[in-house]
Copies of this chain bind each other. A is one copy, B any other.
Amino acid sequence: MNVIDESGILAIATRLQRLSDQIRKDGFQIYKAHGIDFEPKWFPVMYTLFHKPVLSVVEIANEIGYTHPSTISLLKELEKEKLIRSKKDKIDERKRLLQLTDKGQTLVGKMQPVWDVLKIATAEMIDTENNLMRAIEEVEGQLKEKSFFDRAAAQMKRV
């Protein structure tokens, strides 16, 4: 075991990111193995527009939990791939409304069996004594109650 793994929770941010990268990389390869040209980072937008067909930029950003600039750059890529298209909102001229194209719809159809496979494979992978997905949700809940910073500050006073 290396020093970092021993340091345990001090390097937890690093560990989370490493795991995320690993999963994403394999995710890309799994799509590829199914003959689908799809980048995992596109999933949140495509999945969201599949379930809520017409949304503005900020609405999508909120749904996927990204900032709007990050969202805009994803949208640009997806428009370039002709998987989504946009039109001005006639009521509110500030808004740009996004939706899947026919090509986008078709791709989602093709991806759905892959998503089923991914779901099962992931479930199997994280089904251990401490379930990773539930752990994430629980920690997110904890952070909502009291931020990490506040927890450290409270601890500081005690020491």
* A→B interface (CB under 8 Å): 2-5, 7-24, 26-27, 29-30, 33-34, 40, 43-44, 47-48, 51-52, 62-65, 113, 115-126, 128-136, 138-143, 147-149, 151-156, 159
Contacts and interface: CB of A to CB of B under 8 A. Distances in A.
Q: Which secondary structure dominates where chain A touches chain B?
A: helix
B148 A121 contact: yes
B133 A4 contact: no
A34 B159 CA distance: 13
Contacts of A130: 130-132, 134-135, 138
Contacts of A19: 16, 136, 139-140
Q: How many copies does the complex hold?
A: 2
Contacts of A120: 155
B44 A4 contact: yes
Nearest to A17: B20
A49 to B, nearest CB: 9
A64 B2 contact: yes
B135 A128 contact: yes
Given A4-B64, A18-B65, A152 B121 contact: yes
B148 A125 contact: yes
- Shortest 3 CB-CB distances between A and B: which pairs? A128-B138, A16-B20, A26-B148
A152 to B, nearest CB: 4
Contacts of A133: 8-9, 12, 15
Contacts of A40: 13
